[in-house]
Amino acid sequence: MQLTCEHCSKSFDLPEHKVPGGQKLRFACPACGEKNVVNLKQGSDNSNKDSKEKKQSPEVDSSKFEITIEPDMYPPGSEVAFIFVYDSVWEERAKQHWEAKGYYVSLAEDKNEAVQKIALNKYSIILIEDVPENKPLLQEIANWPGDKRREINCIIVGGHAESFDPQQAFINGVNSYINIEQRDNIEELLNNCQENYRIFLEPWKLAETEEA
């Protein structure tokens, strides 16, 4: 089944076995992130187009259309932090930290839900634990276009390097890498991540000001 985003006009293939039951399919466009609704009774407006006319992106993984959750619902303009770590101390302390700063916090029960959540929703901050089973989350982030990726402060906690090791951050495609064993000063580390992210954004903000 061919799907076309009504916002950016990008087209994607959804394997027939992934088409859910029911009358409507809701999905977030992997290219622009906007949400779409397709009436399955009528089919997609572009379902009969010749395959040569499809505007396919090589970065799109069709598995992301296997949506089994609803998008997060928060007031418009809300800042939301997404946390998916197996370490209960990190999860609870990070949640308390960001809620105290006025963020809403979103969690996931398992890896599959976590992947769907970061595909469906646009978060201000993403905190992920550096374990092999979380590779699909990092792959999802790596597939984002540059402007979308730049707007999200991505942080990893793990045990492969010291906190703020630039090489580990670069390898994982995130803004900051934190050593998971530093549980005594989680709040300070997260504040440092925000400051590093602010510095990271300065060149783009300066460029936007000069263009204006």
89: which 2 tokens? 């101390």
Top pLDDT among 71 and 20 is at 71
Query: Strand 11-13 to strand 2-4: parallel, antiparallel, or no bridges (unpaired)?
Result: antiparallel
Query: Strand 153-158 to strand 104-107: parallel, antiparallel, or no bridges (unpaired)?
Result: unpaired
What amino acid occupies position 197?
Answer: Y
- Note the pLDDT tens digit of each residue in 164-207: 999 999 999 999 999 999 999 999 999 999 999 999 998 877 77
pLDDT at position 47 = 39
- Note the pLDDT tens digit of each residue in 110-138: 999 999 999 999 999 999 999 999 999 99
- 13 neighbors 1 (Cβ within 8 angstroms): yes
- 141 neighbors 163 (Cβ within 8 angstroms): no
What is the number of residues in the chain?
212
Hey, what's the torsion of the CAs at 72, 65, 62, 176, to 10 degrees? 10
Give all domains of the chain, ordered by start, each with its CATH number.
2-65 (no CATH), 80-211 (3.40.50.2300)
Question: With 80 as the cut, is the pLDDT of residue 88 above it?
Answer: yes
Sequence-ordered strand ranges (E) for the chain: 2-4, 11-13, 24-28, 35-39, 80-84, 104-107, 125-129, 153-158, 176-179
